[in-house]
Amino acid sequence: MRSQQPGEGVRTHQVRAWLYVAVVLCYLIAKPGHVAALAPVLSALSLVAIVASLPASGWATRLLAILFLGGGTWMLARSGVGWLEGFGAFGEMAYLLALFAVLPVCSVPVKLGGYSDAIQSVLRGRIKGVFQLNCLVTTLSFICGSFMSLAAVPIMMTSMEPVVRTYPIAHPERFIAVSTVYGYALPILWTPVSGVVGVIVYTLHVDWLTLFPVLFALSIAGLLANWVIFYFIELRSEPAPAAEFDPVRGAAASPLPRLMQMVAAVTLLIAGIVLLEYWLHIGLITVVTLVAIPFALAWSAVIGRARAFFGETRVQIAVRLPRMADQFVIFLCAGFFAQSMRLSGFDQQVNLMFLHLHNALGTMPFLLLMPPMTLLASFAGMHPLVLIALLGESLKPEVLGLGSMQLAVTLIGSAVLTYVAGPFSGTLGLVQSINQVSTFRLSLWNAPYAFGYVVLLCATALLL
């Protein structure tokens, strides 16, 4: 067996990082720029990225990759699709990987500007009790999650840790995890930086502005439901410990200006994304991908940290990109599978199967089954974005007799449920890496809040 040479692991990481950069850049030039000549290049780079990433992926990722690649190849061969056309099926979900690669950069100005310190200062303020603390934490997580995506989770958890333990909370680990995850997940319903929203807008060809009022109202209702459930379950049913309530008071400097800067930045980002999509018509995910880094740079420049931004971004990308092997394997293989379904015509058969199920159950039970089916698939190890992308490709609302908005809201809402309660969604995995609590226990902690959210989701879908 060949021994590993010194520096070989570092070189492998660097090669994989540059390969991922090449996939992202090729997509951004080929698709938005309509450069058809780069389509086979993107397919070739995607196939090479899969092969290069498999050795660095986990066993579950490899298993799913084999199933996706094997299933896609079987469908293409069975339908007689030529190998050249089948080769073009690679690279279909590169748009999501481009988003994942650049979106975390939005967290850089938050770190450079000391906004996490402002969050901690607010939490150390004159809050009257635990209920008010929960309301504040979920609200701050909601704001952070609306533009920072998954980066909001570690920022909120690390900011809360030294503060929450000064309050009379029986299980501070549970409080930190549940309030952070639930508050972070709700903006995924509507924010344009959400991969879930981007997938559904892309696959169902619906207008984000049309969906936004309904999805935003659902997220606000979910936030209120969290407060109500917390009041009756956590405060009324469980006595507080016998420790003296003595929260640490805030510092002299008010954190309000920096928090207002965050809110202003979120508003400007969303407004800019909407306007650019209206003018360019290149797709919501593509606009977000193109805007993320310039937005983060402009924000850093406004707070006087432009030079530090470049250094921090370079370090972040160098560390983070090579670790995206699982994501590149899963999404590129799932994209190949979805495109193979379309090329072979199997998507029509899948849609016919859902049509029979819809006709047997009726519209209302069919929609009500979507959230639990999605959650069940997440317990089986299926990533919510992969599942939603495949469902979005195979479900045709006009064939099922459903409105596009009704189906879009149900699919987006079902995916968000897996971020709250799915043990393999990635969100709970990140929380586990911070607090060392099992993802299944985290899922159980979130269960009452997830149930309240599902009730709101089902009511919304049925009223549309």
What pLDDT, on the 0 to 100 scale, is given for residue 441? 86
For residue 398, what are the CA distances in angstroms to 232, 387, 401, 426, 431?
42, 20, 5, 33, 40
What pLDDT, on the 0 to 100 scale, is given for residue 195? 78
What pLDDT, on the 0 to 100 scale, is given for residue 404? 85
| Tokens standing for residue 185 | 């997940």
The Cα–Cα gap between 349 and 340 comes to 13
| Tokens standing for residue 420 | 């709250």
The set of residues, in sequence order, having a beta carbon less than 8 Å from that of 144 and lying 6+ positions away, is 110, 119, 151, 152, 155, 156, 184, 262
pLDDT per 10-residue tile (average), the chain, 464 residues: 46 84 89 81 94 87 89 91 88 81 81 79 72 88 81 77 78 89 92 83 85 94 94 65 46 71 84 84 80 90 92 84 84 86 82 80 85 81 71 74 86 91 73 74 91 94 85
What pLDDT, on the 0 to 100 scale, is given for residue 190? 92
Residue 409 phi, psi dihedral angles, 5° rounding: -65, -40
| Tokens standing for residue 435 | 């607090």
User: Tokens 């958890």 map to which residue?
Assistant: 157
What pLDDT, on the 0 to 100 scale, is given for residue 5? 40
What pLDDT, on the 0 to 100 scale, is given for residue 235? 65
